Amino acid sequence: MERCFKEYSEFVLSLPKEKGWATEFLYEYKGIWFQPKFGLQGLLWMQDHFKPKPTDIFLMTFPKCGTTWLKALLYTIVKRTQFHFSTHPLLTHNPHDLVPFLEIDLFGHPPFGDPDMMPSPRILASHFPYSLLPKPILDSPCKMVYICRDPKDTFVSLLHFYNKMRLKTDGRAPIPVEEAVDMFCRGITPRGSYWDFVLGYWRASLECPENLLFLKYEAMKEDALSQVKKLAEFLGYPFTKEEEEEEEEEENGVIQEIVKLCSFENLSNLQVNKTGSTVHNFVENKLYFRKGEIGDSKNHLTPDMMELIDKVTEEKLSGTGFTFHV
């Protein structure tokens, strides 16, 4: 494995590069920009070696669109009969430690965890663009959940996160916001163009609605309860009649408990998420919880910047039938 990983890293370093966000450079592979470590190397390794199981559940996201939230929800919904809410693993573990990323954790270097040792159903996450998903995943009957978010809010969340990571990686100064808007609009972002990424999954969800559930962050924020029910049904873990009745009769029915446990307010205030760290012990857990709001971009972008991102959104979505509106 060691020799094979060295070959991947040498290959990545031979690709066209651009100035990066968290890492010094981004590398272009098949028209999409990637960070070398915690990104493309793991993706290539995974493409060659990962074997999906029919019961696998995949969470696919572009960074900063609600991955942490969905990891918590998927884990809680699927494993709800195994744990009591008062002693739930989420109270002491960050969601990223319970639901690993394929290309970062399981196929990162060194790998953190062995996918073959995970109990079924495996809940796995990835920031893989749809166009690069390995064929065995596409051919398997597994369930896939995707969540998108308003482009301006995604951008602001990305910028905050990657600027913190820049500082931590090698003490580099933050990327000026104007420069970052320009890179974002040109698709020079880790995992490439945000709009292309979203459209890839959206189109796939229209083709295979039974395998791919497409969610919106804003819809989750507006009505988490009904979205959680939809998720549970899609995953093949629908709430029972008793659970639904309990929900109607009690203020704290199981669906309500799941929503509360996984809420921004609850998770961000847990000790583990205030002080711990994850992803090879490098990312502080608190960085995954900033504000968790809709529309925070207006507090960080000038009207011109907002207009620029809106213009790209309009151009990219024109004729597709897709809209970010809920």
Q: How far is CA 246 from CA 39, 85, 229, 262, in A?
A: 43, 15, 14, 19
Closer to ligand A3P by CB, 64 or 88: give it. 64
82-142-253 Cα angle (round to 5): 35
Residue 156: both structure tokens together: 């602001």
Nearer to ligand A3P, 11 or 264 (CB): 264
Q: Does 267 bind ligand A3P (CB under 6 A)?
A: yes
Annotated active-site residue in 88, 93, 109, 127: 127
Q: How far is the CB of 232 from ligand A3P (least distance, A)?
A: 17
Contact string 146-165 vs ligand A3P (x = CB under 6 A): -------x---x--x-----
CA 122 to centroid of chain Cα atoms: 16
d(CA 151, CA 157): 10
Compute how many other C-beta atoms are within 10 angstroms of the C-beta atom of residue 10.
Answer: 10
Least distance CB 319 / ligand A3P (angstroms): 28
Q: Pick the stretch among 8-16, 115-123, 284-292, 303-311 that binds ligand A3P (CB under 6 A).
A: 284-292
- Closer to ligand A3P by CB, 149 or 229: give it: 149
Please confirm, yes or no, whether 127 is among the known catalytic residues.
Answer: yes
Q: Are 57 and 123 in contact (CB under 8 A)?
A: yes
Q: Which of 113, 290, 300, 322 binds ligand A3P (CB under 6 A)?
A: 290
166 binds ligand A3P (CB under 6 A): no
Q: Kindly state the number of chain residues that form the binding site for ligand A3P, as judged by CB under 6 A.
A: 21
User: Considering the rule CB under 6 A, would residue 75 count as an interface residue with ligand A3P?
Assistant: no
Provide DSSP, 99-149: S-BIIIIITSSS--S-GGGSPSSPEEEE---GGG--HHHHHS--EEEEEE-
Residues annotated as catalytic (active site), given as ranges? 127
Residues contributing to the site for ligand A3P (CB under 6 A): 61, 63-69, 153, 157, 160, 262-264, 267, 288-292, 296
